[in-house]
Structure 1
Amino acid sequence: MSSSTSSSEPAGRTDGTQAASEARWAGFARAFAVTALAALLGTLTLAWMLDPYDTGNTPLSLRDGVRPQGPRTAAASRGRDPAFQGAIFGNSHVQLLSPERLQAATGIPFVSLIAPASGPKEGLVLIDWYLRHRREPARAVIVGIDDLWCTADPAMPNAKPFPFWLYSRDRAEYLVGLLRFDVLEEFQRRIVYLVTGRGERARPDGYWDYEPNIGMGYDRDPAKRMELEQPGPSGGGNASGPFPAVQALEALMQAAADTPLILLRPPVYRSLLPVPGSAEAAAEAGCRGAFAALAARRPLTTLIDWRRDRPELHDPNQFFDRSHYRQPIARLIEVDIAAALKAMR
């Protein structure tokens, strides 16, 4: 009898030790989960309060603007600045259009909300952001319409990363977007910018002249000249439609019926102009026609088409490459924009 009792005691102690160990691990797991949740909520609250990209979503009154950074995030601050009554949208193909020169020519304070290497999907998001942050109707919207706007794909896929969450109408999507490593990296820089008051502010109108950073030399470098003269794909490859970017832009601008809209087809070097009668020419005509039809049926809308054969497109010294022009051409385009806006008054 005593032997049986003795042999059962170690098993009981073992079971008790295991239960205590499991209880300790369960307690640790609960504490870890609570700590992680608290850290997550704390980080989210801090990000919401600091408003790293000056979206206006914070309840605090903070210093205007953001520190110098890429246009994809800086546009959140610039796009809601009430000082700007007109805006430029698109990619690097309209980047050289100067807000200052346009203001001097039209009297309209402009902001550049371009995003390099972007297409219609990003552009439409930025237009929506800008329009919904106007206290008064915008006085002008300029949209650069290149090949990417000619897509037949209703998804209008984007090739480069873009922070769609930052401009979302869904507050939950915005808050989830704040839980990103690059946002955490921005915390320290944002705090320095807000607290010291001495940090450099990103240029409010968003203009960046990239011409000084790009070498030329087409008149001196035969290899560069040969590269410039090589023909390439043109027109976007969509001759008969549909053109979902046209439909999306028209729908978006319905909320701004009193806002003049400039549809700008930016110039390309002559080697990118399609050969008459080719499939590329058909695609070029199809896309041009779709945007021309939008300009015809929407009041206060003008299509400015620089993507046609003209003398300026035959001068290699006016281009960085086949689709990026220099300042002299940018200034000529600005003259056309000013004239179009004056005609729509």
Structure 2
Amino acid sequence: MAATPTSTNPDWRGFARVLLLSVVGIFAAYLALAVLVDPYDTGRSMVLSRGAVRPQGPRTASAVRGRDPAYTGAVIGNSHIQLIEPAALSRLTGIPFVQLSVPATGPMEQFAVLDWYLQHHARPAALVLSADAFWCADDPAFPSEHGFPYWLLGDWPDYLKGLIRYPAAQETINRLGWLLNPRHKVAAPDGWWDYERNYLSQGFGIDPAKKAALEKPVGPAPEPHHGGPFPIAERLRAELARIPGQTPVVVVFPPVYARAEPPAGSPRANAEAACRSQVRTVLTTHPLSTVVDWRDGRPQASDPDQFFDQTHYRLPLARILTSEIADAVIRLRTQMTE
């Protein structure tokens, strides 16, 4: 009777081996399927690519839009430049622009998007970068409170690791369903998203409390906490070195409402001015570059009807800014041909 447990051990070991091999097989099968389906259409597998953008947020849609060869110009930033309509820039400059801005991002995420775009566009016709207050952080890591799928725009090992997570598995199934649906919806291929309706639906421009918040003066505390040097300088220098010298680069200091400007001569005002000055200085290392500066006290910045909140402006102002960006691109292209 004592030999019975020993006689069953091989059976248990065999069961455990089969179970382990089954798990490994299922995992390998899923990973192979995910790579084949390419849930966010990164172009790593073109078997099921259909040349259309599946409806999704800008964080993941930047992978498919950023690799689209049809768009030789790009706008990169966050919601502070997201109302720049790429089709309008295209009409004014003759360059097909894509809007690659991702809300709630800082320079680390934005440069990741830029790197991805440059991987797929060796000679861009023009680049527009938005340099807002997040660029002037003290921490060289530029930490963000919001997650970002760096793995989606990374190398193959990072991409494979990224696929091993529940949201990616869910999106693999979702993309399969989208591909099989003959009436599937598609998103704007150029990334245009007019979020004005979203703001209006939340009471911005109408709600008395939100109007009052718009008029609240900025606090005296300095942000950033010193006058430089700022970490953005070296990071921007490195990114500019990757951009061909024949590519016009326009850096935009986006508008903020006048009440959001720190008092002249305050530590915060001096620090922000020093940061923008360093961005300008570094930008000169690129032969075809310029700044479109909307932090220079323009009268439109004092009009409350042009803003939802202190850092998000409305479409009429965005159209003016679009024209200025287009003019800057055209000037730089003219310099290139002289």
Query: Are 1:322 and 2:306 matched, yes or no?
Result: no
Q: Aligned match of 2:125 in 129, 139, 147?
A: 139
Contact 1:235-1:287 at 8 Å conserved across structures:
no
Q: Separation in 2 of the partners of 1:172 and 1:34?
A: 23
Out of 9, 14, 31, which is 2:18 matched to? Answer: 31
TM-score w.r.t. length of structure 2: 0.92
- The percentage of counterpart residues that share the same residue type is 43
The aligned residue for residue 229 of structure 1 is 215
**Who is 2:321 aligned against?**
333
Question: Which of 17-26 and 142-151 deviates more?
Answer: 17-26
Change (3 A) 1:42 1:322: same
Preserved CA contact (<8 Å) 2:240 2:286 = no
Tell me if 1:266 matches 2:254. yes
Deviates more, 1:107-116 or 1:247-256: 247-256
In 1: Cα distance, 2:5 partner to 2:142 partner: 58
1:52 aligns with 2:39: yes
> 9, 23, 29: which one pairs with 1:42?
29
Q: Are residues 1:162 and 2:117 paired?
A: no
Provide closer, same or farther for how the CA distance between residues 248 and 219 of structure 1 changes in structure 2, counting only shifts above 3 A: closer
Aligned to 2:263: 275
Pair 1:179-2:167 in alignment: no
Aligned runs of 1:1-345 on 2, under 5 Å?
A: 13-14=1-2, 16-58=3-45, 60=47, 62-134=49-121, 136-168=122-154, 170-215=155-200, 221-232=207-218, 236-257=223-244, 258-345=246-333
CA contact (8 A) 2:237 2:283 kept: no
Q: Deviations over 1:97-142 (max 9, x none)?
A: 00011111111111011111010110000000001101x5101111
| Matched letter for residue 76 of structure 2 | F
Two-structure CA RMSD over aligned residues (Å) = 1.8
Assess if the C-alpha contact under 8 Å between 2:78 and 2:102 holds in 1.
yes
SS at match of 1:297: coil
Aligned residues of 2:118 and 2:124 also touching (Cα < 8 A): yes
Q: CA deviation at 1:218?
A: 7.2
Mind listing any 5+ residue stretches in structure 1 that lack a counterpart? 1-12
The answer to whether the 8 Å contact 2:257/2:304 transfers is yes
8 Å Cα contact 1:267/1:307 also seen in 2: yes
Shift of 1:193: 2.4
Distance 1:64 1:236 in 2: 44
Structure 2: segments with no counterpart, 5+ residues: 334-338
> Is the CA contact (8 Å cut-off) linking 2:37 and 2:48 kept in structure 1?
no
Q: In structure 2, do the counterparts of structure 1 residues 250 and 21 end up closer, same or farther at CA, with 3 Å as the change threshold?
A: same
- Matched to 1:114, the amino acid is S
Q: Could you state the TM-score of these two structures normalised by the residue count of structure 1?
A: 0.91
Are the counterparts in 2 of residues 87 and 110 from structure 1 also a CA contact under 8 Å? yes
Which whole-Å CA distance do the structure 1 matches of 2:205 and 2:45 have between them?
53
1:201-224: CA deviations, max 9, x gaps? Answer: 221001100101222877765433
- Which whole-Å CA distance do the structure 1 matches of 2:223 and 2:98 have between them? 28
Conserved? CA contact 2:232–2:279, under 8 Å: no
Deviation at 1:235, TM superposition (A): 7.2
Measured in 2, the distance between the counterparts of 1:64 and 1:211 equals 28
Instruction: Report deviation, 1:55.
Output: 0.8
Structure with max Cα Rg: 1
Question: How many residues are matched?
Answer: 330
Structure 1 contact 270–309 (Cα < 8 Å) conserved = yes
Paired residue secondary structure (1:248):
helix
Q: Distance in 1 between matches of 2:249 and 2:16?
A: 58
